[in-house]
Chains A and B, each alone.
Chain A
Amino acid sequence: MPDKIEDLEIQLLLEALFQHYHYDFRHYARASIKRRLVQARDQLGFASISALQDRVLHDPDMLPRLLGYLTVQVSEMFRDPSYFRALREKVLPHLRTYPSLKVWIAGCSAGEELYSLAILLREEGLYERTLFYATDINPDALSAAEAGLYPLDRIRKFTENHQKSGGKSSLSDYYTAAYGRAVFDKSLRDRVVFSDHSLVTDAVFAEMHLISCRNVMIYFDRALQDRAIGLFRESLTRKGFLGLGSKESLRFSRHATGFADFVPEEKIYQRREP
């Protein structure tokens, strides 16, 4: 059956990426990874996944292009405005009590969520005492996040989301428009550490007060989700906060008891001691 051959090819390609390049997608949710690989195969013009594997093993320039298919996600600033409103109204009052803060955007992709949080904390007067960590496995995504450039046609939606999130300033205060793009202000990233970090293979690197990791773990299988959630729990300070995507949940995780619901409808959790 041709489908089964394709499944085998996918397994082999993922193994090759891991062994040769140390990118580990072996525990990504298979149905989505398959869609993305089939799309990469077709758009990059290969007859089969095996042919794609052959090229990526022998031509390192093919790796970033393939990573683009496997990792990059288009998000929005202030996506799910009610999440940011809940952070503003319910989480920040707790964070305000700390003299210094660490916030980790895990799987930051092109930076939309990072800038959203930076603006939120600036509006609430907490930016200057916060250190942000923006991590991703894709170097191109990290560069894009660091550049902070977005097509102007996306800004209308960002602005609308920002207003709905309870924004206290105008989004246009934070960017300048040039050549069809919005360039976000450098002062929003002077307290940001951009870093390569894998939720699959890397470890705890700092003690966080807030971790936001939204719509990243939906691409993981349950074993890998468990690993990442365990990593988040260890990374959080006592009573630190974890925010997930609106359709993600700790309910099926074996670390479920390590967290308490904080704002359940927004998937914001608080570290709980056993």
Chain B
Amino acid sequence: MTRTTIKAIAIGASAGAVQALQVILPRLPVGYPLPVLVVVHVPPDRSNVLLPLFQSKCRMRVKEAEDKEPMDGGVIYFAPSDYHMLVEADGALALSNDEPVNYSRPSIDVLFESAADAYGPALVGVILTGANNDGAAGLKAVTDAGGVAIVEDPAQAYASAMPDAALDAAATAKVMNLDAIASYLSSLGTAR
């Protein structure tokens, strides 16, 4: 797909996120060399329900992002509920309390735009199922910066609105089903 060495993965998902992520994240192996950043739209008061679930299913370490935390490979970072998660140029994570974007906090656009800034062509952005259009502008920022854009096949997604909007915004994005996305992301960990 690209010759640039990938340094980070960013994933955004909304309605149907839990099922979709359960196909992908547990497939990533122990010792996976990249950090994986995940924004899922969850209600503000429903914090941390995702963490125990994915901690029990994933081979990679799963944790909630902390402010100014240096990112490590081999770790899946979930955005905390009611905070945006951003990437700083030095590769640290940052949180923000700014107003919701696309009615969402955390917002996928906020993560993807800051990660595209920090990583440029070394970023893979993945938009999964969802019923709104958060992530579309973010995925465009990923492709504009030369990064790799992947969108879950809208025809197979639990909710197609978010993948459709992402494809409209980032025409060069690759369309894959969940299984193919899992295989592709896993391969990024071995072909190095």
A: residues with CB less than 8 A from B are: 3, 29-32, 34-36, 73-75, 215, 217-219, 221-222, 225, 245-249, 251-252
- The 21 sampled A-B contact pairs (Cβ below 8 Å) are A3-B145, A29-B96, A31-B87, A31-B89, A31-B117, A31-B118, A32-B86, A32-B98, A34-B114, A34-B117, A35-B110, A73-B97, A215-B97, A218-B96, A218-B97, A221-B68, A246-B80, A247-B66, A247-B95, A248-B67, A249-B67
Residues in B whose Cβ lies below 8 Å from that of A222 = 68, 92
Contact B96 A32, beta carbon cutoff 8 Å: yes
**Interface 1/0 per residue, B92-124 and A, CB below 8 Å:** 101111110000000000100110011000000
Residues in A whose Cβ lies below 8 Å from that of B67 = 217-218, 247-249
Given contacts A30-B89, A215-B97, 6 further A-B contacts (CB under 8 A): A73-B97, A218-B94, A218-B96, A221-B68, A221-B88, A252-B69
Contact B145 A35, beta carbon cutoff 8 Å: no
B133 to chain A, nearest CB (A): 18
Classify chain B's interface size. Answer: 20 to 34
B48 to chain A, nearest CB (A): 11
Contact B114 A31, beta carbon cutoff 8 Å: yes
Kindly state whether residue B83 has any CB partner on chain A within 8 Å.
yes
Select from chain A the residue with minimum beta-carbon distance to B111.
A31
Contact B80 A252, beta carbon cutoff 8 Å: no
Contact B83 A31, beta carbon cutoff 8 Å: no
Docked complex Cα distance between A199 and B106 (Å): 27
Docked complex Cα distance between A75 and B87 (Å): 23
Select from chain B the residue with minimum beta-carbon distance to A217.
B67
Docked complex Cα distance between A222 and B69 (Å): 10
B191 to chain A, nearest CB (A): 27
Select from chain A the residue with minimum beta-carbon distance to B99.
A74
B: residues with CB less than 8 A from A are: 66-69, 80, 83, 86-89, 92, 94-99, 110, 113-114, 117-118, 145
Residues in B whose Cβ lies below 8 Å from that of A73 = 97-98
Docked complex Cα distance between A218 and B98 (Å): 11
Contact B89 A35, beta carbon cutoff 8 Å: no
B77 to chain A, nearest CB (A): 12
Q: Which of B87, B95, B113, B145 contacts A218 (CB 8 A)?
A: B95
A259 to chain B, nearest CB (A): 16
Select from chain B the residue with minimum beta-carbon distance to A34.
B117
Residues in A whose Cβ lies below 8 Å from that of B87 = 31
Contact A30 B99, beta carbon cutoff 8 Å: no
Select from chain A the residue with minimum beta-carbon distance to B146.
A1
Residues in B whose Cβ lies below 8 Å from that of A32 = 86, 94, 96, 98
A41 to chain B, nearest CB (A): 14
Question: Most chain-A CB neighbours within 10 Å: which of B66, B68, B95?
Answer: B68
Q: Which of A31, A215, A225 contacts B88 (CB 8 A)?
A: A31
Select from chain A the residue with minimum beta-carbon distance to B100.
A74
Contact A36 B98, beta carbon cutoff 8 Å: yes
Docked complex Cα distance between A242 and B96 (Å): 20
Residues in A whose Cβ lies below 8 Å from that of B113 = 35
Docked complex Cα distance between A74 and B98 (Å): 8
Docked complex Cα distance between A35 and B115 (Å): 12
Residues in B whose Cβ lies below 8 Å from that of A217 = 67
8 nearest CB pairs, A to B: A31-B86, A31-B114, A215-B97, A32-B96, A29-B94, A218-B67, A218-B95, A247-B80
